[in-house]
Structure 1
């Protein structure tokens, strides 16, 4: 798969839904295997997370921290080219007020996320 053939929107939306909204650890690990390279790196505002298992743990802990109704929702379509893509999102309790907004920016390698920056908007 060449960089031009990557469906950035599908992969980044899948990352939100299948990784960061998934409460089942096994399903989340399977999704990470599908979407990320073997040794991905995720850059959070206050942390650098290395490896698939660590990313799964961060996502699971985040969901536990914010409760069962908390969800990430994509805003618009992801855009990208030449192996770099961006997807805006908002999050909060399902049907409730938005508590955080941000964006994911990813670098892709062979059709999978190799590096992911989680950018939070200051409110």
Structure 2
């Protein structure tokens, strides 16, 4: 698969919905197996997370930490080329307000996420 064949929007939206919004551990692990390479790396502002299982653990902990209606919502369409993709998003409880905004930047190999950078925007007014 060449990077020209990759649907970057579908891949990064699926990552938000099926990994970072999924509360069922088994469904999340299945999605990670489909969306990520064998040994992925995720770069967060304060940590480097290595491996599918650790990415699943981080996603589960985020959802537990922020409550039962917390969700990540894509903003616009993901764009990408030559193996690099970007999707902006916002997150918060279903009934608002927005708690955080940011973007995912992913390096894609063989149609799957190899490396994911989670970039958080500064809070409003800072």
Fold shared by both chains (TM-score > 0.5):
yes
Task: Please name the residue that 1:58 is paired with.
Answer: 58
Q: Residue 78 of structure 1: CA displacement?
A: 0.1
Aligned residue in 2 for 1:114: 114
* Equivalent residue number for residue 83 of structure 1: 83
**Number of aligned positions between the proteins:** 123
1:35 is aligned to 2:35: yes
2:31 aligns to what SS in structure 1?
helix
The TM-score with structure 2 as length reference comes to: 0.97
Q: Which structure 2 segments of 5+ residues have no match?
A: none
Per-residue Cα deviation, 1:73-95 (whole angstroms, up to 9, x for no partner): 00000001000000000000012
Name the SS of the counterpart of 2:105 in structure 1. Answer: strand
Which segments of structure 1 move beyond 6 Å, counting only runs of 4 or more?
Answer: none
**TM-score, length basis structure 1:** 0.99
Structure 1 residue matching 2:95: 3-state secondary structure: coil
